[in-house]
Structure formats: C-alpha cells, structure tokens
A = this chain, B = another copy of it.
Amino acid sequence: MEALKQKIREEGQVLTETTLKVDSFLNHQVDVSFMTEIGREFQRRFADERITKVITIEASGILPAMATAQALGVPMVFAKKTKTVTQNDEVYVQQVKSFTKGTVYDIKVSKNFIQPEEHILIIDDFLAFGHAVLGLADMIKKSGAHLVGAGIVIEKGFQSGGKILRESGIRVESLAIIEKMSSTGILFKD
C-alpha cells in the first residue's frame, strides 16, 4: 500500500534498528480517515474470502480491525489482555510472549464469540515475531472455526514472524513490509 509506505517515511521515527515509532497516525494519535482506507485495503485483499468476523488483540489492533470490519460489514472481537486466568468453559485463553516488551501475558476471548461455523480474519497493527497472531490462530483452531488469514498493517520483515506464519500455512497480507531500517532511512520490500 503505497500511501502507507509514504506515511511511514514521512511520519515514522526509527528509534533503533528494530523499533519504529508511528504514534502520530497509527497507535496513539490516529489518522482516522487513513485508518478507514487501511480497512478498505484489507477488504480488497481478502475479497475472495467469505469472512464472518474480524478478530484482534487490544489495544492498538482495535483501530485497523474496526476499520476492516466496517469495510466488510461484519462484527469484530478483540481479545483482552489479562492476568493469568484458568482455561474454563466460558473463555479461550492463550499465552502470548511479547519479545518487544520482554513480557508474557494471557489473552482471552469469550467462547460465545468464536463459533465453529465462522470464517475469521485476524487483523493486527504490527507483525514482529508472530506470537500474537499464533495465539489467536490457536484459539480459532480450538473453536473449530476457519481461519481465513491475517492482515497486518506493518510487518517487520527482518524478524521471524512473517516466515513462521506463512510456513505454517497462514495467508498473511501485510500492507507494508520493512526489510531494513536505520536512522538514515527505511527500506521496504518490493
């Protein structure tokens, strides 16, 4: 998505070779009309799929997930980050490692909101090591629903998540893939 790459070039701040700050439009202040466009782009990319629901993890995933659900005309669900809870009859629980933050947390989704007959699209703002997407994918698998794929706003192509997800058979559509970045510039794939 050319407009996204341009926005990252203009407004993104490369803090380290692995850390990109995009808080002026994506995950703190939000350029809402641009986010609406991101949703429409995911809708176009997954137009060949029958999608019944969009799923993401709070908090910053909610923005692109909502925009995508609006474009598709389907509901969305956001998994809640939580202190450790026990798997029980009412919720799916999955442990997720955040390499970026050096922490481990649980995510939970009420079983009511992932039904076996559903076709579910995962949306997230960033893809680095892929643990958030894998956690959601495991929940969807447990539920018996069909995972359509994962739509990612910014993929850090120099980290392993994209490779792991694609090799595990998950369709991944990333709107911008960063191959390399430094204080002198950002190199995108393609």
Contacts and interface: CB of A to CB of B under 8 A. Distances in A.
Interface in A70-128: 70, 73-78, 80, 109-110, 112-113
- SS of A interface (majority): mixed
Contact of A24 (B33, B36, B112): B112
Copies in the complex: 2
Interface size class of A (residues with CB under 8 A): 20 to 34
A80 B32 contact: no
Contacts of A73: 33
A113 B70 contact: no
Contact of A69 (B28, B32, B74, B109): B32
Nearest to A70: B32
Contact of A59 (B35, B58, B76, B109): B58
Interface string A142-174: 000000000000000000000000000000000
Contacts of A66: 30, 32, 35, 62-63, 66-67
B63 A33 contact: no
Contact of A75 (B31, B59, B62, B113): B31
Contacts of A138: none
Contacts of A76: 29-30, 32
B70 A33 contact: yes
Interface of A: 23-24, 28-33, 35-36, 58-60, 62-63, 66-67, 69-70, 73-78, 80, 109-110, 112-113
